Structure 1
């Protein structure tokens, strides 16, 4: 009887071991530290002009400014150094790692948005947006020497929101732009909301304007704005939207602003905003699937 009992126990142990081996996806799920490390590996490889340094899934896809390229092309050929700024957004639910990164091409700043699609702890897709700022550019980044105010502030107990709730609040931003009024659009801003666009303060303390409040500023109509969800950092309370601002006749002939824009959200309000954007043709689409469903406007 004792031998029989030992045999049954051995079979149970073996079954548990087999089940563990039979679930590689769960075992290889990338946590926050893993996603952060992949972003670091990516930036290191980019600056070194060496994609072979990356843990790549088979048939990895790479886009720059919404165009499919071979990995190693585009900014990979021209980048010369990293800058001092990087802001990460980590979506462990959808296995995506996003960052706004300051890079250099000699004396030209490259404001770089990168999103890594991760599968089994390997990089399966890479989408990027590159905005170049030359030394004679009209707007020179002034706020990329330190973390963006409020973006990394720990969320107070009881103020954290669900993924769906954060997305709903974030989508209030393009809705306000669509109708040209954040108040009528129901966009939820905290009184201290701080916004940095391409390294320049455009709302909140220090914006240098008479109308630094989000509700006080005049905004133009963006009737054809398109938005979808790039990532949701549920732990840090940030939603990253990809947006094409659509036709406004203000970003150059035939162009619209395209952006990866991050919204720090807690307690039902947007508290901090960081965007890197560039003018691209009006017809530019993201060409990647939204991580979460976005309700269609009639």
Structure 2
């Protein structure tokens, strides 16, 4: 735990200059990679892209220098300050946002950051050099609205965007309103450039109000975790933090001319976008908007949640399964779960009242059953609308009811004329998958296992090998092969784990901890379905690959085949998550002390 460093805390309330100096010192400490110089409380909470991390990790290992652009927002009354700025990390530019909350004795008690890795946006910000002067004007007291009104007017922006209704009342926009998105002006632009994932060239030419009146933003199905930490009455500015959900159910969007156009592929699967943005009001209307976005796993809560915790339990159903549930029963439960997913109807399942579901068509795969654990699973190809994916599904049955459903899905990412499905601002993966090279499930998984029962010790030895980049203590069969995102290196499993640098095992040689290791289903006749999280801190020695330059955590569902007590086949998928990501199931298991 960090304690007060060389910058002394002040017992008096910080004014605008004091808050600005504090956040400036924070940014200097960041690029110096020295958090010990900050005045922080003993229980300071540090959040990076919605992940709770120890202060001094993540971005603190890779930040190198500050850019020219620096936009600070201060709220002395709330003792909060925020900044939109640019930095360089491992040689690459990024948009960096930070919010600090100051405890009443002058120490920092909350640090919330967002890193938007958009080199194009960084270049635009650096070209701007500084914010428009309107942001810094002191508004005469007679023309100001109070902080509560500042916040309520700003919130109308989110309420209007959520399920964007073309018939809504959007008179809260000033007639001269302009919006920046990652440094790019996206309103009142007459150049004919397309907007976002759209091919339409008219939308960006419209005013803020006209854009909302089209209904084109209706793919935003919910805006949650809304909080407004900075409300600057003197400058009539608000700094807001929210999460924008796109649940994948919207199939078309209205065009400016009133016709409907297919939704871009990016929004055909569930997405969550973290948004940190600033608003400048003129009178009671939104005059300037400066927004940034980055992606988070769909449904994930914010690091500083404002909404009540989501109840993941369902209403339950009157349906039941046999108890105990044998192999045939478990396989039937999985078949029912897959059908319910396809028909979008959970009422057909024998759900317990407190059943929990987590999620990170056409299908082709294999069902696995584990009567000892009361669990069954499915590993195979899926198609959500037009997006191919691989689904590792687990269903747990207790006392005749389904109590847990866990869906780990890795979706193909590719580009097209509307920017395709590529996840917003994530780095390249060690092994990319565009959905074309799927093939079939390895025929080896169709055959039964032979020899000793699959053990947790064997699986841990394998994950230890991934962590240490060594096959020394991993019981691989001589001809074991492994595929990562459907790519198989011309090496044995043992050889794939060896060496540093960019290892040919589907993970870079600079990955470190392999944590949250869990057996989903251990089918003694067929294979093991497992999942783990692998950390990539991006602070390794020497030149780093493109995949290793940005801190991240890889979610890796694994299908593992054993024969005579050795690992003979591995099917692995790789999905990028924000650094420090922890699954909901790991949190549940830590509390309940059980799988």
* Contact 1:115/1:128 (<8 A) preserved: yes
What pairs with 1:123-272 in structure 2 (closer than 5 Å)? 123-134=108-119, 141-144=123-126, 145-149=128-132, 150-156=134-140, 158-181=142-165, 184-186=168-170, 188-204=172-188, 210=202, 211-217=205-211, 218=214, 219-221=216-218, 222-226=220-224, 227-249=226-248, 250=266, 253-272=269-288
* Contact 1:194/1:205 (<8 A) preserved: no
Specify which of 286, 291, 316 is matched with residue 275 of structure 1: 291
* Contact 1:61/1:124 (<8 A) preserved: yes
Q: Find the aligned partners of 1:95 and 1:66 in 2 and give their Cα distance.
A: 21
What is the deviation of 1:140?
6.2
Q: Which deviates further from its counterpart, 66-75 or 240-249?
A: 240-249
TM-score by length of 1: 0.80
CA distances 1:28-68 after superposition (whole Å, capped 9, x unpaired):
21111110111011000000000011111222110101111
- Quick one: structure 1 residues 79 and 208, their matched pair in 2 at CA, closer, same or farther if it must change by over 3 Å? farther
- Quick one: structure 1 residues 234 and 156, their matched pair in 2 at CA, closer, same or farther if it must change by over 3 Å? closer
Q: In structure 2, the residue corresponding to 1:124 is in which secondary structure? A: strand
Q: Find the aligned partners of 1:185 and 1:207 in 2 and give their Cα distance.
A: 28
Aligned to 1:295: none
2:98 is equivalent to residue 114 of structure 1: yes
TM-score by length of 2: 0.42
2:302 is equivalent to residue 286 of structure 1: yes
What is the deviation of 1:26?
10
Q: In structure 1, the residue corresponding to 2:222 is in which secondary structure? A: coil
- Quick one: structure 1 residues 79 and 187, their matched pair in 2 at CA, closer, same or farther if it must change by over 3 Å? farther
Q: In structure 2, the residue corresponding to 1:203 is in which secondary structure? A: coil
Specify which of 77, 86, 90 is matched with residue 93 of structure 1: 77
What is the deviation of 1:115?
0.5
Q: Find the aligned partners of 1:272 and 1:289 in 2 and give their Cα distance.
A: 26
Q: Find the aligned partners of 1:129 and 1:54 in 2 and give their Cα distance.
A: 19
Greater relative contact order, per chain length (Cα 8 Å cut-off, separation 6+):
1
Q: In structure 2, the residue corresponding to 1:121 is in which secondary structure? A: coil
- Quick one: structure 1 residues 77 and 172, their matched pair in 2 at CA, closer, same or farther if it must change by over 3 Å? same
For this pair of structures, how many residues does the alignment match? 265
CA distances 1:231-272 after superposition (whole Å, capped 9, x unpaired):
212221111111111115445844222111111013111110
Q: Which deviates further from its counterpart, 82-91 or 232-241?
A: 232-241
Q: Find the aligned partners of 2:285 and 2:85 in 1 and give their Cα distance.
A: 25
CA distances 1:117-151 after superposition (whole Å, capped 9, x unpaired):
101111111011111124xx6x6642443333332
Q: Which deviates further from its counterpart, 253-262 or 203-212?
A: 203-212
Q: Which deviates further from its counterpart, 112-121 or 254-263?
A: 254-263
- Quick one: structure 1 residues 151 and 124, their matched pair in 2 at CA, closer, same or farther if it must change by over 3 Å? same
Q: Find the aligned partners of 2:122 and 2:85 in 1 and give their Cα distance.
A: 15
Aligned to 1:51: 35
* Contact 1:176/1:182 (<8 A) preserved: no
RMSD: 2.6
What is the deviation of 1:285?
2.5
Q: Find the aligned partners of 2:273 and 2:131 in 1 and give their Cα distance.
A: 22
* Contact 1:66/1:285 (<8 A) preserved: yes
What is the deviation of 1:214?
0.9
Question: Runs of 4+ in structure 1 displaced over 3 angstroms?
Answer: 204-210, 248-254
2:25 is equivalent to residue 41 of structure 1: yes
Which structure's CA Rg is the greater one?
A: 2
- Quick one: structure 1 residues 141 and 284, their matched pair in 2 at CA, closer, same or farther if it must change by over 3 Å? farther
Aligned to 1:3: none
* Contact 2:247/2:270 (<8 A) preserved: no
Q: Which deviates further from its counterpart, 210-219 or 85-94?
A: 210-219
